[in-house]
Amino acid sequence: MRIIFDAMGGDNAPDETLKGARLARDEYGVEITLVGDEPLLTERAAALSIDLAGLDIRHAPTQISMEDEPTAVLKEKGDCSMAEGLRMLKSGEGDAFVSAGNTGALVVGATMIAGRLKGIKRAALTTVIPSATGAYLLADVGANAECRPEMLVQFGVMGSAYMEKIMGIAAPKVGIANIGTEPHKGTSLQQETYRLMQGAPLHFIGNAEARDIPFGVADVVVCDGFTGNIILKLTEGLAKMMAGEVKKVMFKSPLTKLGALTMAGGMKGFKDKMDYSKYGGAPLLGLKAPVIKAHGSSGAEAFQNAIRQAKTMVENGVISTIETALGEMRQKAAEGGEQ
């Protein structure tokens, strides 16, 4: 198995991408191709004393920046590391692609270069978010600000495959993020999605109210990318805000600091539970091969995790599981089984 890795993506490239690739190669024995500016990569590797043995390099002269328009990956930046990596994925020179670069460019590039699965309208950018009872997958979190009902059903099917194959959850519960539980709640998007979900090959549990989502009411929460991005970022913001407030309480006086010492282990456990970098990067689902968007601020360890995640996606056959479910759905629809 070979993971194609965008060595130029993210705030900390290429030093941290080089370190992360080395760690992943040593730990998981997976073959890795670093895509990027070859002279720079070999120079930085030498400077950091990183042994490149077992790490291939594919030269790409440019890189896409956060300021570039997403479509630049197809045009003026067609020779960037991200585009080159995706072409390698398309031609079968590797089994999965990992990048911490420009998210919009990755969505466009992966869709247009690596290609979508049959019947998939739009690829979904997804994220696994911790909850009180474990974690749930949220789809879409921003690749598609506006969605049609069929897309949300596909997100449910793809998210189920991911949660089953990667997180080991049998028959993941799929819910629609909504403003009430009754079938008529929300806008026409949620109402129509509700109707279509009932005929889809997944474990549909109905609407998921936002107040119940952090308690794990569903294992897969589907919504348009606008709503999903709001949910993802509000979760991040509130967790940070509340953690800060609790910290203030704990560090208020010498006495409270002493009190805080008694619960240092517990607070560490809580922090770890809420830390979603442990779930790796954001999988882009609906493509012909696994593509992982690593966080822009990833360091070596986060890159190592993202490479492991890509490896697990390949090993556990997430893509073929999605393909099978999509085929089943098409067949049902052809038989008029979707109502």
Q: What is the DSSP string of 154-215?
A: HHHHHHHHHHHHTT--SS-EEEEEESSSSTT-S-HHHHHHHHHHTTSSSEEEEEEETTTGGG
d(CA 267, CA 322): 38
d(CA 74, CA 109): 7
Q: Does 227 bind its own copies (CB under 8 A)?
A: yes
Is residue 90 within 8 A of residue 112, CB to CB? The reply is no
Q: Does 134 bind its own copies (CB under 8 A)?
A: no
18: left (phi over 0), alpha (psi -120 to 50) or beta: alpha
d(CA 208, CA 176): 5
Question: Which span sits near its own copies by CB under 8 A: 82-90, 164-172, 229-237, 299-307?
Answer: 229-237
C-beta of 92 vs 244, nearer to its own copies: 244
Shortest Å, Cβ 203 to its own copies: 22
Q: Does 231 bind its own copies (CB under 8 A)?
A: yes
| Whole-angstrom Cα Rg for the chain | 21
Q: Does 1 bind its own copies (CB under 8 A)?
A: no
Q: Which of 92, 168, 244, 336 binds its own copies (CB under 8 A)?
A: 244
Spell out the SS3 assignment of 293-315: ECCCCCCHHHHHHHHHHHHHHHH
Size of interface with its own copies, in residues (CB under 8 A): 56
d(CA 260, CA 266): 10
Q: Does 332 bind its own copies (CB under 8 A)?
A: no
Question: Which span sits near its own copies by CB under 8 A: 3-11, 17-25, 220-228, 309-317?
Answer: 220-228
Shortest Å, Cβ 247 to its own copies: 10
Q: Does 168 bind its own copies (CB under 8 A)?
A: no
Question: Which span sits near its own copies by CB under 8 A: 12-20, 27-35, 206-214, 319-327?
Answer: 206-214
Q: How many CB atoms lie within 10 A of CB 223?
A: 27
Q: Which of 49, 53, 92, 132 binds its own copies (CB under 8 A)?
A: 132
d(CA 99, CA 293): 5
Q: Does 249 bind its own copies (CB under 8 A)?
A: yes
Residue 234 corresponds to which tokens in the numbers above?
A: 């509000």
Shortest Å, Cβ 209 to its own copies: 6
Shortest Å, Cβ 186 to its own copies: 6
Touching its own copies, residues 53-82 (CB under 8 A): none
Q: Does 242 bind its own copies (CB under 8 A)?
A: yes
DSSP at 131: E
Q: Applying CB under 8 A, which residues contact its own copies?
A: 131-132, 142, 145-146, 177, 179, 186-187, 209-215, 225-227, 229-246, 248-250, 252-253, 255-256, 258-263, 266-267, 269-270, 273-274
